[in-house]
């Protein structure tokens, strides 16, 4: 046993030049697994077993990214997100169990940036962490979004797919711009509806679905297997950014 | 004198061993158990008004209160006596209920309030009181029984003359008929009897001082009642009754402590009822005899098919007598036999009766010459059984009011007709008499008598016989037109004509009555037969209820309502249209249901109800209530219709129970099926959960083993295997969760307008790792609009169907995924070119844990398709599988589309 502990302890060393990752989970086995998986030397790892220590750790160690399990013993994970969002825009990735769509939506609406459904692969987790670490400080100011053949010039309201200019209706463009502005991030139905049509349309999912469908017809090669705008089942949509 | 094996056995045993018999101990244990469970009744027994019963009861009550018992006065009358009133002070009194009796409000004990209050002890004065019409029970002692049944101890007061079995003795002594009676069984079950006694002289003194309250009803008879002689006799009665009670307790005590004593052998008395007006006295006499002898007693009525004159009157009286005997503690039975004496002795022998009680004959001696009295016949065949003859002659004045004299309406028109008939016969004979001898004319008169007997009944026929004699004498016997007869031989002719006439009329009318009785019985049998036939044919509850209603309506001409329990309360399931049950009627029905005893009109309980309510009960279970409004008021009391009703109700109960049992059997079958399924589930779960775990733990264990070094390839292989199996485990757990949610109904659809193409897209994205180089053809016409469905679940359906197709078809074959609208249905189809499914399994593939053999070995969970089915059905849709022309399988999901 002691040798195992030795293996973990060095990972908790504080370092100024590597990003700090705060892992919040009350399951000891999952904590241990996450720490082992992320012990690649590129992150400095911090841990918390419940909501209150998580909040304390968030202020104390100023993490660059937080991995948050929603089912905490002392308080609701969504409440933790809300409190952190009161003062920080640090990326939060929610780790949730399968089929907890309502929890996911709740977490995203409360301000979480992304979610991963348990069980997830280590590669997937590392990839997501990297995406969020990369974009966090200065992404939003880029005027041109470009990814695998889709090019959106926000300053000129121009959309080019595989070298061809595509004509979009104003609503379609607004929708695409919103997705581009949050590329890689899951936007819930609610967030999109409020963002484009206003709070009064929060219940009108069919408007959103029709526009997404139309947008896909115009920019996707095969709308039934979309490559850019992917559906997050029961949660919302995400523009794939890589 | 008598040889009775049973008795000898008992005597021997008591001589041999001092241990009480097991029977005795059991009886005692039962009694003690009942005692501790049941609420206690304490009776303050007096011999007349004014002896101080109420006072004694209140004193005892105050004592109990000081002991800290919770005690209320349910009903206590002070009658303005200051001593009594001072004792009442500080006692919690339940306010009386005002019973509406035809517009007049009468105060009565509020039974429901007392029941709701639930004191430990309730004081109920005047046990023998009759409640106002409209109360739940006719008598207050029935209220007391209900209180006791509810576990409330009761203190009550009663005078000795109110006890049923002493009723006639008291009437004999005092000449006053006491109409308010209490069954003796109540006295027997009292835990304690407190005799309240003062010398008659003191009582009379108090009466003169005006200290005794006499109820208005009794004021007329009070003078007659309060005579020193009467009071002394009544006092003795009460003392004896109380003493016999002490004797009983003493015996019980001695038996329980196995104290040797001169045990009286078990006597058993039998009294035979005939329906005569004296039967009632005979019953009471037998009861007293049985009490004195500490014996059980039985009463039988023996129906002889031959002697069924006055059938209905007689039956009615017998019915009443049997009920009286039952209320006095007798076991009753009705037998049918041609010979009363033989049937009686046969019954007596079979039931180990030691003594038969019969009444002394009341008929004149000359009748005995014609027909041997019943007593003699019984004594002749009685063998070893004692026969006790009780005197019940007219000298012992029975109060006229108690005697039931059946009044048959005089058949005046019949008499007139017989007169006319005789005149007509005489007119016919007039021309004939010239050619016929007078003796032959007699034959014509005889014909007239026979005619009268068949058409007019017995009495007019007898009159016809008498008139014929007169007419014959007057008109045709010389000297004609006088009543004199020239030849004394004619006296023989007169006598013969009269006798033959009487005999013929008796015989004919008897056979007519018999035929009537048979016809009546036939009608009953037929109606019962019809009911049972209809019930046998009815397959469900509705059919049975219809059959019951129809048959009872037809056979009894009654209006009926059928009430069956629905959860906590009774609900009217069938009723005649002009029969509406209000709250009050329903409450009566409810009472009958809860107590499993008849109530309402024609019974002792809740008599003010519109209908008679009979419980439809089998042994132990009340299945419902039958409410009836009979066509004729007299039908309620008539034993005939009661018996028929009882037969109907029994049939109905059996039929309803049959349906219940059928349902239970069905449920049991369903449970068994579910059980089988659960076992299959458990087997599958343990298999499907363990198999992947074996690979995972095996692989991890091997890798963890420090002593072994693996080649990079092997290592990879182990890890891949474990990873794959972990995925499978995850899928299985997911499926199980889905299934559980679907089956428990916890699944709530979140139906929103969905883009079908998006659904397909999501499914394909989820299956991307498995797709590899497969070509999936997706066809969604652009005109397919948004469809309302739960997108997450419907995507799951498509994933499962696609996953199946991928698993069961060769890698190189295509899979088509299409959507289309047909009318108001959205059709989703997943078609492959795999091996298809054998026709007989097409439906079974959606069953839980149904698996087809898989080419590659690694099968599914056996849950995927049943989950699809569950989800689609939750959308009010339909899923089916069919084999395609040219090979392959097509899965079709049809969803309603609005």
Q: Using a CB-CB distance cutoff of 8 angstroms, which residues of chain B are in contact with residue A225?
A: 761, 764-765, 778
**For residue B114, what is the domain's CATH number?**
3.40.50.300
The dihedral formed by the CA atoms of B363, B369, B371 and B373, expressed in degrees to the nearest 10: 50
| C-alpha distances in Å from residue B616, one per residue of B540, B553, B656 | 17, 17, 9
Please tell me whether residue B215 adopts helix, strand or coil conformation.
coil
Specify the pLDDT at position B384. 79
Cβ-based neighbour number of residue B698 at 10 Å: 14
Distance, in Å, from the CA atom of B853 to the CA atom of B351, rounded to the nearest integer, reads 74
Identify which of B126, B131, B182, B114 has the alpha carbon closest to the alpha carbon of residue B156.
B126
Specify the pLDDT at position B643. 74
Looking at the structure, do residues B861 and B787 belong to the same domain, yes or no? yes
Question: How far is Cα of residue B826 from the mean position of the Cα atoms in its chain?
Answer: 57
Q: Do B778 and A226 touch (CB under 8 A)?
A: no
DSSP letters, B386-443, are EEEEE---TTSPPPGGG-----PPP-HHHHHHHHHHHHHHHHHHHHHTTTS-HHHHHH
Looking at the structure, do residues B634 and B695 belong to the same domain, yes or no? yes
How many CA atoms lie within 13 Å of B871's alpha carbon, on the beta-carbon side? Answer: 25
| C-alpha distances in Å from residue B481, one per residue of B420, B423, B426, B432, B476 | 18, 14, 12, 16, 8
Average pLDDT over residues B192-205: 84
Map tokens 């206590």 to a residue: B76
Predicted confidence (pLDDT) at residue B380 exceeds the cutoff of 90? no
Q: Using a CB-CB distance cutoff of 8 angstroms, which residues of chain A are in contact with residue B765?
A: 225, 230-231
Per-residue pLDDT tens for B221-254?
A: 677 777 777 888 888 888 877 777 776 766 666 6
Specify the pLDDT at position B881. 92
**For residue B822, what is the domain's CATH number?**
3.30.565.10
Q: Are B797 and B868 in contact (CB under 8 A)?
A: yes
Specify the pLDDT at position B221. 66
Looking at the structure, do residues B273 and B215 belong to the same domain, yes or no? no
pLDDT of chain A, 242 residues: tens digit per residue: 444 433 333 444 444 578 899 999 888 888 888 888 888 888 889 999 999 999 999 998 889 999 998 888 888 889 999 999 998 889 999 987 756 678 888 899 899 988 888 888 888 888 888 888 887 554 555 678 888 888 888 888 889 998 899 999 999 999 999 998 888 888 998 899 988 888 888 778 888 888 998 999 899 888 888 889 999 888 899 998 77
Q: Are A188 and A108 in contact (CB under 8 A)?
A: yes
- Bridge partners, B412 (sequence order): none
pLDDT band at residue B401, thresholds of 50, 70 and 90?
A: very low
Specify the pLDDT at position B396. 42
Looking at the structure, do residues B146 and B105 belong to the same domain, yes or no? yes
Please tell me whether residue B606 adopts helix, strand or coil conformation.
coil
Specify the pLDDT at position B20. 53
Q: Are A237 and A215 in contact (CB under 8 A)?
A: no
Specify the pLDDT at position B405. 35
Q: Do B730 and A119 touch (CB under 8 A)?
A: yes
Looking at the structure, do residues B742 and B752 belong to the same domain, yes or no? no
Distance, in Å, from the CA atom of A220 to the CA atom of B893, rounded to the nearest integer, reads 27
Specify the pLDDT at position B343. 83
Map tokens 């005979």 to a residue: B282
- Bridge partners, B387 (sequence order): B356
What is the chain A residue with the closest CA to B818? Answer: A224
DSSP letters, B754-818, are E-HHHHHHHHHHHTHHHHTT--EEEE--TT---EEEEHHHHHHHHHHHHHHHHHHS-TTS-EEEE
The residue ranking higher by pLDDT, B457 or A112, is A112
Distance, in Å, from the CA atom of B200 to the CA atom of B220, rounded to the nearest integer, reads 20
**The two three-digit tokens of residue B35, written as one number:** 């005692």
pLDDT band at residue B369, thresholds of 50, 70 and 90?
A: low
Identify which of B535, B601, B538, B593 has the alpha carbon closest to the alpha carbon of residue B564.
B593
Residue B9 lies in a domain: no
Q: Give all strands (DSSP E) within B619-675, no chain letters.
A: 621-629
What is the chain B residue with the closest CA to A233? Answer: B792
Check whether the bond before B479 is cis (ω within 30° of 0): yes
Specify the pLDDT at position B399. 38
Q: Do B764 and A224 touch (CB under 8 A)?
A: yes
Specify the pLDDT at position A4. 40
Does domain A139-239 bear CATH number 1.10.8.60?
Answer: no
Q: Are A22 and A61 in contact (CB under 8 A)?
A: yes
The dihedral through the CA atoms of B316, B321, B322, B327 has a sign that is positive
Looking at the structure, do residues B332 and B445 belong to the same domain, yes or no? no
The dihedral through the CA atoms of B626, B630, B635, B640 has a sign that is negative
Q: Using a CB-CB distance cutoff of 8 angstroms, which residues of chain B are in contact with residue A118?
A: none
Per-residue pLDDT tens for B788-828?
A: 888 888 998 999 899 888 888 888 888 999 998 888 889 99
Q: Are A184 and A238 in contact (CB under 8 A)?
A: yes
For B582-587, which contacts have Cβ atoms below 8 Å and span 24 or more sequence positions? Answer: B584/B609, B585/B609, B585/B610, B585/B611, B585/B627
Specify the pairing of strand A164-165 against strand A158-161. Answer: antiparallel
Q: Do A224 and B757 touch (CB under 8 A)?
A: yes
Residue B30 lies in a domain: no
Which of A92-101, A138-147, B15-24, B127-136 bottoms out in mean pLDDT, i.e. has the lowest? Answer: B15-24
Specify the pLDDT at position B397. 41
Specify the pLDDT at position A83. 92
Query: How far apart are the two ends of chain B, measured CA to CA in Å?
Result: 98
What is the chain A residue with the closest CA to B778? Answer: A224
Looking at the structure, do residues B136 and B197 belong to the same domain, yes or no? yes
Predicted confidence (pLDDT) at residue B784 exceeds the cutoff of 80? no
Domain ranges of chain A: 2-135, 139-239
Q: Using a CB-CB distance cutoff of 8 angstroms, which residues of chain B are in contact with residue A226?
A: 761
Chain A interface residues facing chain B, Cβ-Cβ under 8 Å? 98-99, 101, 119, 205-206, 209-210, 212-213, 216, 222-226, 230-231, 233-234
Number of domains making up chain B: 5
Identify which of B443, B467, B441 has the alpha carbon closest to the alpha carbon of residue B456.
B467
Of chain B residues 208-227, which have a CB less than 8 A from chain A? Answer: none
Distance, in Å, from the CA atom of B869 to the CA atom of B843, rounded to the nearest integer, reads 11
**The two three-digit tokens of residue B248, written as one number:** 């009983």
Q: Do B754 and A209 touch (CB under 8 A)?
A: yes
**For residue B307, what is the domain's CATH number?**
3.40.50.620
Q: Do B765 and A223 touch (CB under 8 A)?
A: no
Domain boundary among B696, B718, B747: B747
Identify which of B601, B603, B586, B667 has the alpha carbon closest to the alpha carbon of residue B633.
B601
Which of A138-147, A184-193, B71-80, B694-703 bottoms out in mean pLDDT, i.e. has the lowest? Answer: A138-147
Please tell me whether residue B604 adopts helix, strand or coil conformation.
coil
User: Any residues with CB less than 8 A from the CB of B804 and at least 6 apart, and which?
Assistant: B860, B864, B865, B891
Cβ-based neighbour number of residue B880 at 10 Å: 15
SS (H, E, C) B456-479: CCHHHHHHHHHHHHHHHHHHHCCC
Interface test with B, best of A220, A233, A237 (most B CBs within 10 A): A233
Map tokens 């029905």 to a residue: B589
Q: Which range has highest mean pLDDT (A67-81, B102-116, B206-220, B588-602)? A: A67-81
Share of chain B above pLDDT 70, in %: 85
Specify the pairing of strand B559-566 against strand B621-629. Answer: antiparallel
Q: Do A212 and B753 touch (CB under 8 A)?
A: no
Average pLDDT, rounded, for chain B: 79
Distance, in Å, from the CA atom of B274 to the CA atom of B272, rounded to the nearest integer, reads 7
Q: How far is B750 from chain A (nearest CA, A)?
A: 9
Per-residue pLDDT tens for B728-762?
A: 888 888 888 888 877 777 777 888 888 888 899 88
Question: How far is Cα of residue B849 from the mean position of the Cα atoms in its chain?
Answer: 49
The dihedral formed by the CA atoms of B150, B151, B155 and B160, expressed in degrees to the nearest 10: 70
pLDDT band at residue B159, thresholds of 50, 70 and 90?
A: confident
Chain A CB within 8 Å of residue B698 CB: no
| C-alpha distances in Å from residue B315, one per residue of B404, B639, B698 | 13, 7, 90
Q: Do A234 and B755 touch (CB under 8 A)?
A: no
Looking at the structure, do residues B715 and B612 belong to the same domain, yes or no? yes
Identify which of B695, B675, B560, B577 has the alpha carbon closest to the alpha carbon of residue B629.
B560
**For residue B723, what is the domain's CATH number?**
3.30.450.40
Q: Are B476 and B433 in contact (CB under 8 A)?
A: yes
pLDDT band at residue B13, thresholds of 50, 70 and 90?
A: very low
- Closest CB to A231 among B730, B761, B786: B761
Looking at the structure, do residues B236 and B281 belong to the same domain, yes or no? no
Longest CA pairwise span in chain B (Å): 154
- Bridge partners, A150 (sequence order): A147, A161
Looking at the structure, do residues B74 and B97 belong to the same domain, yes or no? yes
Specify the pLDDT at position B1. 38
Q: Are B804 and B864 in contact (CB under 8 A)?
A: yes
Which of B22-26, B90-94, B421-425, B641-645 bottoms out in mean pLDDT, i.e. has the lowest? Answer: B22-26
Predicted confidence (pLDDT) at residue B874 exceeds the cutoff of 60? yes
Cβ-based neighbour number of residue B384 at 10 Å: 11
Looking at the structure, do residues B760 and B883 belong to the same domain, yes or no? yes
Q: Which range has highest mean pLDDT (B181-195, B474-488, B513-527, B811-825)? A: B811-825
**The two three-digit tokens of residue B826, written as one number:** 């959205």
Query: How far apart are the two ends of chain A, measured CA to CA in Å?
Result: 41
- Do A139-239 and A2-135 have the same topology in CATH? no
Q: Are B585 and B609 in contact (CB under 8 A)?
A: yes
Range of the domain at B283: 268-402
Distance, in Å, from the CA atom of B94 to the CA atom of B415, rounded to the nearest integer, reads 64
**The two three-digit tokens of residue B310, written as one number:** 């006055």
Map tokens 């132990």 to a residue: B620
Q: Which range has highest mean pLDDT (A15-19, B13-17, B185-189, B490-494)? A: B490-494
Predicted confidence (pLDDT) at residue B303 exceeds the cutoff of 70? yes
- Closest CB to B764 among A206, A210, A225: A225
Please tell me whether residue B197 adopts helix, strand or coil conformation.
coil
Q: Are B125 and B87 in contact (CB under 8 A)?
A: no
Q: Using a CB-CB distance cutoff of 8 angstroms, which residues of chain A are in contact with residue B757?
A: 213, 216, 223-224
**The two three-digit tokens of residue B61, written as one number:** 């009550």
Q: Which CATH superfamily is domain A2-135 in?
A: Response regulator (3.40.50.2300)
Looking at the structure, do residues B371 and B391 belong to the same domain, yes or no? yes
Per-residue pLDDT tens for B328-340?
A: 778 877 777 777 8
Predicted confidence (pLDDT) at residue B8 exceeds the cutoff of 50? no
Predicted confidence (pLDDT) at residue B714 exceeds the cutoff of 50? yes
Q: How far is B678 from chain A (nearest CA, A)?
A: 25
B475 phi and psi angles, rounded to 5 deg: -90, -35
Q: Which range has highest mean pLDDT (A130-144, B460-474, B475-489)? A: B460-474
Q: Do A206 and B750 touch (CB under 8 A)?
A: no
Tell me the ipTM for this assembly: 0.80
């Amino acid at each position: 046993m002691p040798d195992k502990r030795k293996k973990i302890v060095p990972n908790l060393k504080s370092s100024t030049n590597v990003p700090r990752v705060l892992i919040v989970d009350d399951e000891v086995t999952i904590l241990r697994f996450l720490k082992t998986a992320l012990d690649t030397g590129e992150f400095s790892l911090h841990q918390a077993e419940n909501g209150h220590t998580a909040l304390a750790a968030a202020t104390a160690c100023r993490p660059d990214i937080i991995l948050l399990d929603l089912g905490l013993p002392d308080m609701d994970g969504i409440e933790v997100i809300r409190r952190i969002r009161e003062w920080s825009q640090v990326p939060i990735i929610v780790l949730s169990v399968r089929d907890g769509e309502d929890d996911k939506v709740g977490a995203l609406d409360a301000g979480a940036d992304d979610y991963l459904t348990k069980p997830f692969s280590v590669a997937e987790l590392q990839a997501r962490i990297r995406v969020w670490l990369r974009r966090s400080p200065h992404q939003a100011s880029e005027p041109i979004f470009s990814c695998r053949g889709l090019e959106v010039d926000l300053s000129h309201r121009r959309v080019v797919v595989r070298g061809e200019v595509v004509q979009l209706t104003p609503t379609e463009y607004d929708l695409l711009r919103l997705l581009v502005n949050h590329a890689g991030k899951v936007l819930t139905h609610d967030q999109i509806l409020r963002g484009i049509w206003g709070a009064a349309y929060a219940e009108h999912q069919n408007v959103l679905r029709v526009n997404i469908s139309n947008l896909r017809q115009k920019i996707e090669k095969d709308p039934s297997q979309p490559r850019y705008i992917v559906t997050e089942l029961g949660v919302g949509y995400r523009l794939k950014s890589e | 004198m008598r040889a009775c094996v049973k008795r000898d056995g008992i005597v021997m045993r008591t001589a041999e061993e001092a241990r009480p018999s097991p029977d005795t101990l059991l009886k005692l244990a039962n009694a003690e158990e009942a005692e501790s469970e049941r609420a206690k009744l304490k009776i303050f027994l007096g011999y007349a008004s004014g002896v101080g019963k109420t006072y004694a009861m209140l004193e005892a009550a105050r004592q109990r209160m000081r002991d800290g018992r919770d005690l209320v006065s349910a009903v206590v009358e002070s009658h303005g006596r200051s001593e009594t009133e001072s004792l009442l002070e500080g006692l919690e009194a339940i306010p009386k209920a005002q019973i509406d009796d035809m517009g007049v409000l009468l105060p009565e004990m509020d039974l429901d309030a007392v029941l709701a209050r639930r004191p430990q002890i309730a004081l109920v004065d005047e046990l023998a009181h009759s409640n106002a019409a409209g109360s739940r029970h006719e008598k207050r002692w029935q209220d007391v029984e209900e209180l006791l049944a509810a576990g409330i101890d009761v203190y009550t007061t009663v005078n000795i003359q109110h006890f049923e079995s002493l009723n006639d003795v008291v009437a004999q002594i005092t000449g006053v008929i006491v109409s308010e009676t209490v069954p003796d069984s109540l006295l027997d079950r009292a835990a304690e009897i407190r005799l309240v006694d003062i010398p008659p002289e003191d009582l009379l003194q108090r009466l003169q001082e005006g200290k005794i309250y006499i109820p208005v009803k009794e004021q007329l008879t009070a003078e007659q009642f309060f005579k020193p002689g009467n009071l002394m006799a009544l006092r003795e009665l009460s003392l004896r009754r109380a003493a016999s009670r002490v004797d009983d307790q003493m015996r019980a005590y001695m038996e329980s402590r196995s104290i040797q004593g001169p045990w009286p052998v078990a006597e058993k008395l039998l009294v035979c009822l005939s329906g005569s007006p004296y039967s009632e006295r005979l019953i009471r006499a037998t009861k007293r005899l049985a009490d004195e002898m500490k014996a059980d007693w039985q009463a039988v009525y023996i129906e002889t098919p031959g002697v069924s004159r006055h059938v209905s009157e007689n039956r009615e009286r017998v019915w009443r007598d049997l009920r009286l005997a039952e209320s006095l503690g007798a076991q009753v039975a009705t037998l049918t036999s041609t010979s009363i004496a033989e049937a009686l002795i046969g019954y007596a022998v079979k039931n180990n009766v030691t003594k038969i009680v019969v009444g002394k004959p009341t008929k004149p001696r000359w009748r005995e010459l014609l027909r041997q009295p019943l007593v003699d016949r019984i004594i002749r065949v009685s063998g070893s059984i004692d026969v006790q003859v009780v005197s019940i002659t007219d000298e012992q004045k029975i109060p006229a009011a108690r005697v039931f004299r059946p009044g048959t309406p005089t058949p005046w028109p019949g008499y007139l007709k017989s007169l006319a008939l005789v005149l007509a016969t005489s007119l016919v004979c007039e021309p004939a008499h010239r050619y016929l001898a007078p003796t032959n004319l007699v034959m014509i008169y005889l014909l007239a008598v026979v005619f009268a007997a068949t058409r007019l009944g017995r009495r007019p026929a007898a009159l016809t016989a008498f008139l014929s004699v007169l007419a014959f004498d007057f008109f045709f016997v010389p000297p004609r037109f006088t009543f004199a007869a020239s030849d004394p031989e004619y006296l023989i002719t007169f006598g013969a004509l009269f006798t033959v006439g009487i005999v013929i009329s008796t015989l004919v009318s008897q056979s007519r009555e018999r035929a009537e009785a048979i016809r009546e019985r036939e009608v009953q049998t037929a109606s019962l037969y019809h009911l049972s036939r209809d019930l046998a044919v009815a397959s469900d509850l509705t059919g049975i209820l219809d059959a019951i209603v129809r048959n009872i309506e037809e056979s009894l001409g009654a209006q009926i309502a059928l009430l069956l329990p629905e959860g906590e309360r009774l609900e009217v399931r069938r009723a005649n249209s002009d029969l509406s049950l209000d709250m009050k009627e329903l409450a009566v029905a409810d009472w009958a249901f809860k107590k499993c005893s008849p109530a309402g009109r024609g019974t002792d309980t809740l008599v003010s109800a519109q209908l008679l309510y009979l419980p439809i009960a089998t042994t132990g279970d009340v299945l419902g209530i039958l409410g009836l409004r009979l066509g004729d008021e007299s039908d309620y009391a008539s034993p005939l219709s009661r018996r028929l009703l009882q037969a109907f109700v029994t049939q109905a109960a059996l039929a309803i129970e049959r349906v219940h049992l059928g349902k239970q059997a069905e449920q049991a079958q369903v449970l068994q099926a579910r059980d089988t399924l659960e076992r299959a589930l458990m087997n599958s779960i343990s298999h499907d959960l363990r198999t992947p775990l074996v690979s995972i733990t095996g692989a991890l264990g091997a890798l963890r083993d420090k002593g072994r070094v693996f080649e990079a390839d092997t290592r990879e292989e182990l890890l891949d295997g474990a990873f794959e199996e972990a995925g499978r485990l995850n899928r299985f757990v997911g499926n199980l969760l889905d299934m559980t949610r679907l089956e428990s109904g916890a699944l709530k659809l979140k139906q929103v307008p969905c883009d079908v193409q998006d659904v397909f897209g999501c499914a394909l994205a989820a299956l991307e790792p498995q797709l590899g180089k497969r070509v999936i053809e997706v066809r969604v016409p652009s005109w397919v609009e948004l469809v309302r469905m739960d997108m997450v679940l419907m995507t799951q359906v498509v994933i499962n169907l696609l996953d199946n197709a991928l698993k069961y078809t060769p890698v190189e074959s295509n899979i088509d995924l299409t959507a289309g609208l047909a009318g108001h249905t959205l059709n989703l189809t997943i078609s492959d070119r795999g091996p298809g499914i054998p026709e007989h399994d097409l439906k079974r593939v959606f069953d839980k844990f149904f698996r087809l053999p898989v080419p590659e070995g690694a099968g599914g969970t056996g849950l995927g398709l049943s989950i699809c089915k569950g989800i689609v059905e939750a959308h009010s849709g339909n899923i089916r599988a069919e084999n395609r022309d040219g090979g392959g399988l097509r899965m079709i999901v049809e969803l309603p589309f609005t």
